[in-house]
Amino acid sequence: MTHTPPGYHGRYLHVDLSTRQSDTHPLPADVLRRFIGGSGLGTWLLQQHTPDGIDPFAPDAALLFVFSPLVSSPLTTSAKFAVMAKSPLTQRINDSLSSSHFAIAGKKTGNDAIIITGKAESPTCLVISPESVRFDPAGDLWRLSSHRASERVREQLGKRFHVASIGQAGENLVRYATVSNDGRHAGRGGLGAVMGSKQLKAVAVTGDRLTTYAHPDELIAYSKDLSRKSFGPATAKYRELGTVSNLLTFNRLGTLPTRNFQQSEFADAERLAPETMSVTHERTRASCAACTIGCEHIFHLSSDAPPSPRATARGSAHGESGVRMEYENLFALGPLCGISDPDTVLRASQLCDELGLDTISAGGTIAFAMECAERGLLDVPQLRFGNGDALLQTLRLIGHREGIGDLLADGSRLASQQIGQGSEDFAPHVKGLELPGYEPRTLQTMALGFAVGTRGADHNRSGAYQVDFSNQVDRLQASPDDVRLAIETENEAAIMDSLILCKFLRGVFDDRLAAMAEMLHLITGWDINTAELQETADRIVTAKKSYNIRQGWTPAEDTLPQRFLTQAIPDGASAGASLTKDALQAQIQAYNLARGWTPDGYVVDESSVK
Average pLDDT over residues 37-47: 98
| pLDDT score for 308 | 39
Nearest Cα neighbor of 14 from 145, 118, 137, 136 is: 118
What pLDDT was estimated at residue 431?
A: 98
CA-CA distance, 526 to 486, in Å (whole number)? Answer: 28
Q: Give the model's confidence band at 245: pLDDT under 50 very low, under 70 low, under 90 confident, else very high.
A: confident
DSSP β-bridge partners for residue 300: 322
Q: For all residues of the chain together, what is the average pLDDT?
A: 93
CB 253 within 8 A of CB 280: no
Strand 93-99 to 80-86 pairing:
antiparallel
Residue 398 phi/psi, 5-degree rounding, is: -65, -50
Domains of the chain plus CATH, in order, are 11-205 (3.60.9.10), 237-434 (1.10.569.10), 444-609 (1.10.599.10)
Among the ranges given (15-19, 91-95, 276-280, 334-338), the one the predictor scored with the smallest mean pLDDT: 276-280
H runs (alpha helix) in 124-215: 146-157, 168-171, 191-197
More confident residue, 283 or 100: 100
Phi/psi of residue 30, each to 5°? Answer: -70, -30
Higher-pLDDT residue of 490 and 507 is 490
Handedness of CA 476, 482, 483, 488 (dihedral sign): negative
Give per-residue burial for 439-448: e unless 16+ CB within 10 Å, then b.
Answer: bbbbbbbbbb
Model confidence over 311-331: pLDDT tens digits?
333 333 333 468 888 899 999
| Number of other CB atoms surrounding residue 484 within 10 Å | 12
- By mean pLDDT, which of 225-229, 296-300, 566-570 is the weakest? 296-300
Give the strand pairing for 11-16 and 113-117.
Answer: parallel
Instruction: Answer whether 364's CB lies under 8 Å from 370's CB.
Output: no
pLDDT in tens, 590-605: 999 999 999 999 999 8
pLDDT band at 256 (very low <50, low <70, confident <90, very high): very high
Cα Rg of the chain, angstroms: 22
Please give the DSSP secondary-structure letter assigned to residue 32.
H
What residues contact 405, with CB distance under 8 A and at least 6 apart? 394, 396, 397, 398, 399
Asked which of 151-155, 429-433, 440-444, 506-510 is least confident by mean pLDDT, the reply is 506-510
Give backbone dihedrals phi and psi of 135, rounded to 5 degrees, phi first: -120, 85
Is the sign of the CA dihedral 143, 147, 151, 154 positive or negative? positive
Q: Is the pLDDT of residue 23 over 50?
A: yes
Nearest to 342 by CA among 350, 332, 334: 334
Residue 75 predicted with pLDDT over 70: yes
Length of the chain: 610
**Closest residue by Cα to residue 128 from 109, 112, 145, 156:** 109
Does residue 607 carry a pLDDT above 90?
Answer: no
Q: Which of 434, 352, 355 is nearest to 400 (CA)?
A: 355
Rounded CA gap, 251 and 330, in Å?
13
- CA 559 from centroid of its chain's CA atoms: 20
Torsion of CA 106, 108, 114, 118, to 10 degrees: -80
User: Greatest CA span in the chain, whole angstroms?
Assistant: 66
Entry pTM? 0.95
